[in-house]
Structures are given as C-alpha cells and as structure tokens.
C-alpha cells in the first residue's frame, strides 16, 4: 500500500509518459508540477490538458516556479513555446487543486512517519519540489519507499552543456539534496534514451496501428514535433523519449537492459560541470547506492509505448 505520485515539468515527453502510465492502468494518486521545460503555470496547464485527453481526473498540485538558487532556465527550444509542440488543446474543466506540491508531498511523508503508506514517486523534471520538503524536514526522507528519476548522465554526455543533463541543470542543488538521501532509487539518465531512441519508421508503424483516436492523435502530433528536433540535432530520424523510458522502466523493470549500481554525486560548483552527475564507481563518497539504467531494451520499450497508448485509445 503506497501513495504514488508523478512530479513533472509538463513537456512533450512528460505528457507521453503520463499517457503511458494511465494507459497501463497505473493508479496515480496525485501529480505535482514544476518549472522546467516551460514555466510552472504552463507546465500545470499542459498536464491538465493531457489528463483531459486521457479522461483522467487526477489531483494536480502546482509546485516550484524557480530553482533553489540562480536563474530559471527552460527548454522551449525542445518542446515549443507552449511545451507541447503546439498540439491542439481539448476543452475541459480540469483545474489545479488549491494545494501546493510542497504541501502535498510533505503531508504524505508526515503521515508515513506516523505509520501511513509510504511515497513512491516518479520524477521527470527538476527535483525542486521534493528537495524543498527534504531540506525543511530531513527526517521525512524515511517516508519515501521508492524513487524513479529521469535525469543526469551515466557517461558524462550532457544535453544542455557538455556535462549536464537538463533536469539536473535546472536545479543542481535540488538534485544534490535528493540524490544524497536517495533510498531505493532508479535513475534513468539521458544516454539510454538517446542510444536507444525509436527510429522514425518504427514510430510511423506504431501510430499507423494506433489509428485516429483523440489520444493517439495528440501523442502523434507531439512525437512528430519531437522527431523534427531529433533531426535537427542528431541528423537522424529518431524519436528521443527520456521520460517515457523512465515510465516504461517503472512499469516493467526488464526495460532496463543493463544497470550500473553505485552512488551519484551532483556537481553544484564547477567551471564547466555545474549540474553534472558523477558516478562514484569505487565508493569514494558517502553517496547512497542507487541503480542507474545504462542501456535500455528498445524492443520492450516500443512494445510498452504502443501497448499502453493502445489501451488508452481503446477507452475512447
Ligand atoms: C529531460 O529534460 C526535459 O526536456 C525532458 O522532459 C526530460 O525530462 C531530458 O533531459
Ligand atoms: Ca520532463
């Protein structure tokens, strides 16, 4: 018996990850939003619109609007100005809850301290929301049962700077706080989503088979937008889906073809490496030992993506 939450910055791949979890029938107790790909207002709207497409009414708690220190960055150059690649929005009446992400997470962890269900969380954006709670009340970390987190690198290949991946770079201090307390954590870094990206013809096949339902078209539009970005940067027709890979790993651990088991440090200073994740292979630090996906099973990932979206579409 756990409380399951998703913490997200409302980009294209975040939306697809959510659709997969909902399609898979995974019970999501609540969603917390954060700045990241877009500002937190837009991220929250994007999640509500995605939930409307899925016919899912899940509480959405708005979260952090700024990083722990320094200036906010965004990724509209990846996800488009609206964060969802200009997709057509559904009409609906969903609204964010009146509660903040901070209070929602804190309350679960406080209740866990008193014997209530512990928290399982998938984070697919900057780690600011969770870090704020842990910074204020460090003992509450004991209420976390499991974390799946998309972020960081396992071989030092950054996607924003040469050293840093986006989610970590958005708020390195927050990532450091979470990863220095991490219990039972699986990290899904940038590289497997790049190396095991979905070839364009595979994506075409998936959407051909999914047909013309509203959720399938919503996902297809966003994936097409993301593919264009892949073309621009990597000169190949590839669909890179980091957050859905994390969702897939949560749904089926066999998606993880190879794991590295070690502690992870986050660089918060540095001339070139702020936001870099450093793998402590030889146990030179106190960093808690976590599992890091080094390689994905692409065929399994494709099956889960198609299967969950098909299940979602079949309900329309
Ligand atoms: C991560 O950054 C965001 O752009 C994506 O949504 C994903 O969470 C990849 O670096
Ligand atoms: Ca994200």
| ipTM of the complex as predicted | 0.98
Of ligand 1's listed atoms, the one at least distance from the Cα of 75 is 4
pTM of the model: 0.98
Segment 133-154 mean pLDDT = 98
Segment 75-88 mean pLDDT = 97
Specify the pLDDT at position 262: 98
Any residues with Cβ below 6 Å from ligand 1, and which?
11, 13-14, 37, 75, 78, 124-125, 150, 159, 165-167, 190, 242-243
Mean pLDDT of the chain: 97
Give φ, ψ of 122 to 5 degrees: -105, 120
**Ligand 1: residue whose CA is nearest its atom 10:** 166
Specify the pLDDT at position 247: 98
Of ligand 1's listed atoms, the one at least distance from the Cα of 11 is 6
Is residue 296 within 8 A of residue 257, CB to CB? The reply is yes
Q: How many Å lie between the centroid of ligand 1 and the Cα of residue 188?
A: 11
Percentage of residues of the chain with pLDDT beyond 90: 97
Q: Is the pLDDT assigned to residue 103 strictly greater than 90?
A: yes
CA distances (Å), origin 244, targets 6, 126, 148, 305: 12, 16, 12, 8
Q: How many Å lie between the centroid of ligand 2 and the Cα of residue 114?
A: 32
Give φ, ψ of 185 to 5 degrees: -115, 140
């Amino acid at each position: 018996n756990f409380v399951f939450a998703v913490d997200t910055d409302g980009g294209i791949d975040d939306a697809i990850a959510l659709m997969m979890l909902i399609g898979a029938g995974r019970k999501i107790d609540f969603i917390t939003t954060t700045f990241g790909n877009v500002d937190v207002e837009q991220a929250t709207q994007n999640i509500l619109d995605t939930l409307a497409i899925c016919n899912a009414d899940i509480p959405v708690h708005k979260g952090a609007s700024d990083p722990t220190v320094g200036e906010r960055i965004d990724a509209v150059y990846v996800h488009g100005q609206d964060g969802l690649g200009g997709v057509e929005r559904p009409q609906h009446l969903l609204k964010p809850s009146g509660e903040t992400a901070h209070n929602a997470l804190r309350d679960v962890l406080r209740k866990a301290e008193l014997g209530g269900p512990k928290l399982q969380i998938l984070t697919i954006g900057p780690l600011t929301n969770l870090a704020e709670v842990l910074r204020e009340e460090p003992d509450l970390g004991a209420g976390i049962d499991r974390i799946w987190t998309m972020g960081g690198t396992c071989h030092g290949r950054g996607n924003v700077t040469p050293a840093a991946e986006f989610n970590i770079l958005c708020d390195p201090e927050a990532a450091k706080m979470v990863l220095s307390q991490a219990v039972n954590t699986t990290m899904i870094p940038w590289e497997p989503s790049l190396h095991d990206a979905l070839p364009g013809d595979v994506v075409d096949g998936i959407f051909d088979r999914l047909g013309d339902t509203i959720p399938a078209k919503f996902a297809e539009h966003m994936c097409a937008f993301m593919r264009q970005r892949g073309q621009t940067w990597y000169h190949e027709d590839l669909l890179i889906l980091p957050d859905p890979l994390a969702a897939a790993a949560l749904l089926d651990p066999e998606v993880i073809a190879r794991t590295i088991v070690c502690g992870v440090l986050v660089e918060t200073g540095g001339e070139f490496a702020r936001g870099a994740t450093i793998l402590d292979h030889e146990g030179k630090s106190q960093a808690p030992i976590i599992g890091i996906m080094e390689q994905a099973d692409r065929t399994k990932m494709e099956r889960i993506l198609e299967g969950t979206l098909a299940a979602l579409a079949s309900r329309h």
